[in-house]
Structure 1
Amino acid sequence: MGDHKEQHLRVGAAVRRRRRALELTLAVVSERSGLSVPFLSQIENDRARPSTASLEKLADALRTTAVELLAAADPACSVDVVRAEDFERPLAPQTRSLVRGHHQMHASEFTGDHDAGREFQYRNDRLMYVADGGVEIEAEGRAYRLGRGDTLYLTGGVRHRWRATGPETRVIVVAVAEHIEAVEDRPR
């Protein structure tokens, strides 16, 4: 099988995200790139695969590079299973990624203790879900105690720290991936 996945990336969503982040219409991108609006629409919907030359023109119009667009592209396969048995190390504190590859969303599972001394601040939003045990979280000067089944949502930019209250604690953290620009709602 090898690394044939790289050749089958769907660049459409990455192009659309970049265009929307810059608040550009298809017409403006068409004007800048010399590519037609229908062709751009087909690229964004993964109905057309741009040539290297077209991708470079498109990247220039979006003030980025073809390499960056490909790095932010989605793999053509849309289903990926991460098996629990691949990570069986009970009782030792550990972190495992629940999502393989470069996607819009990232998820991790934290098991056991966690370094409460470290403060975190992420650019994008994240959701913490306590699957087992409990955690204490300090955010925005307030303390929160979460038990099994509880969730806490943190907006991007919120400084926080947390610790497990027992060795059997499992926390799932789901977040917008750090390589995705958070788009602020601010008038131009």
Structure 2
Amino acid sequence: MALDEPDLAQVSLGAEIRRRRKQHGLTLTNLAAQAGISHPFLSQLERGYARPSMTTLERIARALDTTQVSLMLAADPVQVTATPTSAPAGVGVVPAGGGAILPQAGDDAGYARLLVRGDAAFFPQEQVLNRREHREYFQHEQDEWVHVVRGEIEVDFGDGSLVELRTGDSLYYAGGIPHRWRLIGPESAHLIVVQASSS
């Protein structure tokens, strides 16, 4: 998604992608080809003038030998907002509406919001899903847990296995398993998705 004016989150995300790209000795053209995106879009992204979908960010992360969550953390440059000064070390608060927010792939398909900042043992996300079609599979080394707060989704594991989840259902799967999900209920699905740390 192209932006008329870059915001701080997108500039931070773009700078992190550029830093990692250069660290790997890749040109814009090389990384764009490996991630399956256009060279102009990647250029806009690195300058903060584009917002990637979660799917696109996953492809970029794979090409850079990192995780989608690591890149999302860079899209949330405010690390201390709303953390009580009296809180002990190791305590952090992400206020309502805070945290890195990225769109799902597709028009009005929903969004994902990272619910923790900095280094953590796990990375919870709030996801809202409006998309009724499957997109490409996600596959990462980290274990993941999904809880349906509201709505109904179908999870496809790429081997013919389909699991339907409804309000209150949870699902856990080990890292390395391809997965993707789509909305099957009449209204938006609200999910909590927790991914283990990569370290």
Query: Which structure's relative contact order is higher, taking Cα pairs within 8 Å and 6+ residues apart?
Result: 1
What is the TM-score when the length of structure 1 is the normalising length? 0.49
| Bigger Cα Rg | 1
